[in-house]
Chain A
């Protein structure tokens, strides 16, 4: 049976699923409820300098009938009094001693940092998370992402924190930076025990096209917010991987960004995260989603024979290479499973208009099953991605699996194209139709013109 217990730089929790510092961790009431439901840890809504919030605060990206595939907010850190939060931290710890309670903090001066760290440690927090990530409201006051974007400043503050902190310190990173490993390395240099990432991405989720104001709207005006939810997961995964692979970072990672189900969590762990944090999914569906997450990851681990999280943590990292180290001799082409095909011809139009004109339609209009033109197929995957039927288009290996040649090896051998019309370039040998053929092509009867 899978053992889900985790230890992130000394912070122990019964499972790797933590609530991220956000509205779901605004109060002891919510965190008790979450622990009761099965969550392993919670990063308390950021405590710190006093703030005032606006209304409204959130915006959303909906994709067709799917709501909140992306989510943004212009909310600040907690607006509740520090003393109430401290009292509730001790109450939660007393009732749930085995669950991890991490205090997220954001203050300005060295003295403020020292004081607040003592306060939360006295209240019983198992760890501290430094919020250097908030991309709105706080950065204008020289905190949040304003710190996260300046590795030097970040390092200094981590050092202040480490002067007094007795519990492990996690530095939370902002993604609003071109190289995430720079602040990660600064955190390590400052003595941070772990990092967590990502915080939200600066964003405008949409514009009200009648009022001419972006969302969310505050009295006819708006401001950029922080983007999160399922849509940011790919960005978060990449940044987690960058930190996990960088030899000078070498810190335990708590992965954040778009985690909603067990599979998302497994992906973060495979890229090196020890725990994951969840915000948007809980804001959308409530604490109850843990009922799907826990059995999901347990089943996965049992099936794979993983006893602990450590057994598969970072397991995908060795398979992530630089582009120049990929095998240029590997060849796949698309293959359509005719018995599954429903005849929507989305693959045809995608390849025809958006890729390589490598899919043909039958000349018999009654037969709607397309066919792959093997010699034109470059193996890009597009058709298999647009196909609405599971496993209907598969990518089949066509090379003999004996050859291996990378761009790096070709470069070393001096065997790469040099001029713009060089014989050695890839596209030169790839067939494309003549431009005028586009106009001669038969169109569906309802197309105009």
Chain B
């Protein structure tokens, strides 16, 4: 099957993982921006979680004011460049573009956005001036999309910010999770450098906030604390044999891939368990790493997969096959994985039921678990006053999952946004929520 040769050099890796949305040239951006109708109360804007004024930035590109375009983008979304590349635009702005209603190709908003922001990032041009110092200090836990967005906005409001990040690089899942054909490490990190130089927040790398002692210190030193820690590692599958060699969480696999590129070990027969976007990514990535066969196995039918249909299409196009209505019951093997035993399901009234006697073994030498990410309950539980529900979601002071416009938790000093709150959506949601959280913090600090 393998459409992709196993990459052995950086060039071969780059070829197999060539960008899904390549950067637009000036000419292409000019032509594409010319097509935008400049709709009134444009549906594309309303479909963007951060509400970027899309027709305006497109018009600015068209009128040769790319700095202005970038500014329009960043004013609404501090992850403007990352989002241009990684957003599921088919489901968001581009999916809402009025051109879809006349069967004309929608405006390539994501690529135009990446084009404009790439220009300013490269030119290092300063677009924003931080707010008048308020003397207040905020600690941000996690330098992912939520944490960094919150930091930028807080700096605009004049507050000092220190970010504590567990890992060695900023941007969270943008460097550790998102598929490499959407965003390269370089692109993600260049935007982070651009933002940090402009906003002057401090980031303390390799400084996980782990226990009560850390929290005590933060509470003492800072006027408010923002939680942007995202989710935890891949959840357990809960079947015998899942500790065998060759069984890896999809998230951990992607993280290795993002950092080790072609040196990442990939089996020749890979089974990916799950039906979400992470599972689809892992399947597409395994194909691109030269696996001979990649099988996505999902408990229910295709229409019930959590993944976007375009992600499933991409996985298929990359060479993956899919097995539907199967539940893994055991990971087979002697030390190393040699296969997965499945049982077939039928779905009755929305519930899956195993079909007795339908077990079969699918051979493989690697299993990727796309079974979802756990919550970072251990840390959150140590924050006095912060309440969680049974699923580990952060609650506000009225017992609701934090969704109010202030993103304040039941401990008034703590605010939270991003995956840690919404349970894992997209970069753009984290950016949108964190911006609002920053205003929540600002309101709290002004009290």
**Which residues of A are at the interface with B, using a C-beta cutoff of 8 A?**
64-66, 340-346, 348-349, 361, 365, 368, 388-389, 444-446
- Contact between B99 and A345, CB atoms less than 8 A apart: no
Would you list the 10 A-B pairs with minimal beta carbon distance, nearest first?
A65-B34, A345-B40, A342-B101, A444-B41, A64-B34, A349-B40, A344-B39, A342-B98, A446-B53, A344-B98
Does B444 make an interface contact (CB < 8 A)?
no
Give complex CA distance A278, B320 in Å.
Answer: 58
Instruction: Provide the residues of chain A in CB contact with B43, threshold 8 Å.
Output: 343, 368
Instruction: Provide the residues of chain B in CB contact with A64, threshold 8 Å.
Output: 34, 62
Give complex CA distance A269, B45 in Å.
Answer: 47
A346, A349, A445: the one contacting B46 at CB < 8 Å is A445
Instruction: Provide the residues of chain A in CB contact with B30, threshold 8 Å.
Output: 65
Interface hub of A344, A348, A389 (most chain B Cβ within 10 A) = A344
Give complex CA distance A64, B39 in Å.
Answer: 16
Give complex CA distance A368, B46 in Å.
Answer: 12
Q: A64-B62, A65-B30, A65-B34 are in contact. Are A346 and B45 (CB under 8 A)?
A: no
Give complex CA distance A446, B54 in Å.
Answer: 10
Instruction: Provide the residues of chain A in CB contact with B31, threshold 8 Å.
Output: 65
- Contact between A388 and B37, CB atoms less than 8 A apart: yes
- Contact between A344 and B40, CB atoms less than 8 A apart: yes
For B51, give the chain A residue with the smallest CB separation.
A446
Report the minimum CB–CB distance from B175 to chain A (whole Å): 30
Give complex CA distance A368, B102 in Å.
Answer: 14
Having A65-B34, A344-B39, one finds 19 other A-B pairs with CB under 8 Å, namely: A65-B31, A342-B98, A342-B99, A343-B39, A343-B98, A344-B37, A344-B40, A345-B39, A346-B37, A346-B38, A346-B40, A361-B41, A368-B98, A444-B41, A444-B42, A444-B45, A445-B46, A446-B45, A446-B51
- Contact between A345 and B34, CB atoms less than 8 A apart: no
For A64, give the chain B residue with the smallest CB separation.
B34
Q: A65-B30, A344-B39, A346-B37 are in contact. Are A389 and B102 (CB under 8 A)?
A: yes
Instruction: Provide the residues of chain B in CB contact with A340, threshold 8 Å.
Output: 102
For A444, give the chain B residue with the smallest CB separation.
B41
- Contact between B51 and A445, CB atoms less than 8 A apart: yes
Q: Specify the main secondary structure of chain B where it touches its partner.
A: helix
B residues contacting the other copy or chain, number (CB 8 A): 21
Instruction: Provide the residues of chain B in CB contact with A66, threshold 8 Å.
Output: 34
Instruction: Provide the residues of chain B in CB contact with A345, threshold 8 Å.
Output: 39-41
Instruction: Provide the residues of chain B in CB contact with A445, threshold 8 Å.
Output: 45-46, 51
For B48, give the chain A residue with the smallest CB separation.
A446
For A361, give the chain B residue with the smallest CB separation.
B41
Give complex CA distance A368, B39 in Å.
Answer: 11
Interface hub of B41, B51, B76, B99 (most chain A Cβ within 10 A) = B41
Instruction: Provide the residues of chain A in CB contact with B34, threshold 8 Å.
Output: 64-66
**Which residues of B are at the interface with A, using a C-beta cutoff of 8 A?**
30-31, 34-35, 37-43, 45-46, 51, 53, 62, 76, 98-99, 101-102
Interface hub of A66, A343, A346 (most chain B Cβ within 10 A) = A343
- Contact between B40 and A444, CB atoms less than 8 A apart: yes
For B32, give the chain A residue with the smallest CB separation.
A65
Instruction: Provide the residues of chain B in CB contact with A365, threshold 8 Å.
Output: 46
Give complex CA distance A275, B62 in Å.
Answer: 39
Report the minimum CB–CB distance from B8 to chain A (whole Å): 43
Instruction: Provide the residues of chain A in CB contact with B40, threshold 8 Å.
Output: 344-346, 348-349, 444
For B55, give the chain A residue with the smallest CB separation.
A446
Q: List 16 A-B contacts (CB under 8 A).
A: A64-B62, A65-B31, A342-B98, A342-B99, A342-B101, A344-B40, A345-B40, A346-B38, A346-B39, A348-B40, A349-B40, A368-B98, A444-B41, A444-B45, A445-B45, A445-B46
Report the minimum CB–CB distance from B71 to chain A (whole Å): 13
Instruction: Provide the residues of chain B in CB contact with A388, threshold 8 Å.
Output: 37
Report the minimum CB–CB distance from A187 to chain B (whole Å): 43
Report the minimum CB–CB distance from B407 to chain A (whole Å): 19
Report the minimum CB–CB distance from A444 to chain B (whole Å): 4
Give complex CA distance A341, B102 in Å.
Answer: 8
For B37, give the chain A residue with the smallest CB separation.
A344
For B102, give the chain A residue with the smallest CB separation.
A342
Instruction: Provide the residues of chain A in CB contact with B42, threshold 8 Å.
Output: 444
Instruction: Provide the residues of chain B in CB contact with A343, threshold 8 Å.
Output: 39, 43, 98, 101
Report the minimum CB–CB distance from B156 to chain A (whole Å): 16
Instruction: Provide the residues of chain B in CB contact with A389, threshold 8 Å.
Output: 102
Instruction: Provide the residues of chain B in CB contact with A344, threshold 8 Å.
Output: 37, 39-40, 98
For A350, give the chain B residue with the smallest CB separation.
B40
Give complex CA distance A244, B62 in Å.
Answer: 42
Instruction: Provide the residues of chain A in CB contact with B99, threshold 8 Å.
Output: 342
Instruction: Provide the residues of chain B in CB contact with A346, threshold 8 Å.
Output: 37-40
Report the minimum CB–CB distance from A357 to chain B (whole Å): 14
For A340, give the chain B residue with the smallest CB separation.
B102
For B31, give the chain A residue with the smallest CB separation.
A65
Interface hub of B30, B37, B76 (most chain A Cβ within 10 A) = B37
Instruction: Provide the residues of chain A in CB contact with B76, threshold 8 Å.
Output: 446
Give complex CA distance A443, B45 in Å.
Answer: 13
Give complex CA distance A368, B101 in Å.
Answer: 11
Give complex CA distance A446, B31 in Å.
Answer: 25
Instruction: Provide the residues of chain A in CB contact with B39, threshold 8 Å.
Output: 343-346
Give complex CA distance A348, B38 in Å.
Answer: 12
For B27, give the chain A residue with the smallest CB separation.
A65
Give complex CA distance A365, B101 in Å.
Answer: 16
Instruction: Provide the residues of chain B in CB contact with A341, threshold 8 Å.
Output: 101
Report the minimum CB–CB distance from B56 to chain A (whole Å): 8
Instruction: Provide the residues of chain B in CB contact with A446, threshold 8 Å.
Output: 45, 51, 53, 76
For A365, give the chain B residue with the smallest CB separation.
B46
Give complex CA distance A17, B197 in Å.
Answer: 63
Give complex CA distance A341, B277 in Å.
Answer: 34
Give complex CA distance A341, B46 in Å.
Answer: 19
Give complex CA distance A340, B101 in Å.
Answer: 9
Give complex CA distance A342, B39 in Å.
Answer: 10
Give complex CA distance A365, B62 in Å.
Answer: 29
Report the minimum CB–CB distance from A365 to chain B (whole Å): 8
Give complex CA distance A257, B84 in Å.
Answer: 44
Report the minimum CB–CB distance from B63 to chain A (whole Å): 9
Report the minimum CB–CB distance from A371 to chain B (whole Å): 14
Give complex CA distance A227, B102 in Å.
Answer: 37
Give complex CA distance A344, B46 in Å.
Answer: 13
Report the minimum CB–CB distance from A360 to chain B (whole Å): 13
Give complex CA distance A401, B71 in Å.
Answer: 55
Instruction: Provide the residues of chain B in CB contact with A368, threshold 8 Å.
Output: 43, 98
Give complex CA distance A101, B102 in Å.
Answer: 49
Interface hub of B42, B98, B99 (most chain A Cβ within 10 A) = B98
Report the minimum CB–CB distance from B60 to chain A (whole Å): 13
Instruction: Provide the residues of chain A in CB contact with B101, threshold 8 Å.
Output: 341-343
Instruction: Provide the residues of chain A in CB contact with B98, threshold 8 Å.
Output: 342-344, 368
Give complex CA distance A361, B41 in Å.
Answer: 11
Give complex CA distance A64, B30 in Å.
Answer: 8
Interface hub of A361, A365, A444 (most chain B Cβ within 10 A) = A444
Instruction: Provide the residues of chain B in CB contact with A348, threshold 8 Å.
Output: 40
Report the minimum CB–CB distance from A137 to chain B (whole Å): 32
Give complex CA distance A446, B72 in Å.
Answer: 11
